[in-house]
Amino acid sequence: MRKIQLLMLFVLSAIIFQGCKKDVVTSASTTSDQILAATINGTSWIPDDVTATITYDTDAKTKSFNVVGTADLKRVKWTITLSDATATNVNTFPLATYKVDATNRVQMAYFTSAGGVEYDQVGVVESGSGSIIITAIDPTKNLITGTYSMTTKKVNYNQDGSIESIETSQIASGTFTNLPYTFGQSAQ
């Protein structure tokens, strides 16, 4: 009798363990469908409207990677512009880390809306306060992958010109995973 009780306990434990194991696999796969995401001021954010383009300017001999994501009255936007030998007229973009600096080669911004169609920029991303890392690109399928982050800073002034307050917005843990993009040419 004791052996039957132990056998039943073993079988029941195995069934419960298998059920828990399947739940973990299911929940882990549900987060991989986000093509663009971030944490904005501590809150998860996944845009419902995303556009990404790589454009080669034939006159200026520059190539730009542009992304705009919008949801919940918030918008993130960035542009990386290449003007050196890597700015070729082919459907690809160099895998590298691109940082906001004094050259304006990398421009990043965060916007909010009060509910209308207009979005207002929230402060500026200063030199050293933002970066984009491109980790993979598939020019056959037009998909690009990487990470991004930025901190915006808005200085509010008193009437006498002294600083009243400084507001910051933190866009952290940003990812773009198999983000579809279009490739094209332009002339200015």
Neighbours of 124 (CB within 10 A): 18
Q: Which residues contact 88 (CB under 8 A, 6 or more apart)?
A: 56, 63
Euclidean distance between CA atoms 188 and 179, whole angstroms: 27
The answer to whether 80 and 94 have CB atoms below 8 angstroms apart is no
Could you write out the DSSP letters of every residue in 138-163? Answer: ETTTTEEEEEEEEEEEEEEE-TTS-E
Q: For 86-105, what is each residue's pLDDT tens digit?
A: 888 999 999 999 999 999 99
* Confidence (pLDDT) at 33: 60
Query: Which of these, 6, 141, 134, lies nearest to 80 by C-alpha position?
Result: 134
Helical residues (DSSP H) of 30-102, grouped into ranges: none
Give the mean pLDDT of 155-174: 94
- Higher-scoring residue by pLDDT: 85, 109: 109
Query: pLDDT for 135-157, tens place per residue?
Result: 999 999 999 999 999 999 999 99
Cβ–Cβ under 8 Å, residues 61 and 87? yes
Q: Report pLDDT digits (tens) over 12-46.
A: 444 444 444 333 222 222 334 689 999 999 999 99
- Determine the Cα–Cα distance for residues 126 and 102; give it in Å rounded to an integer: 8
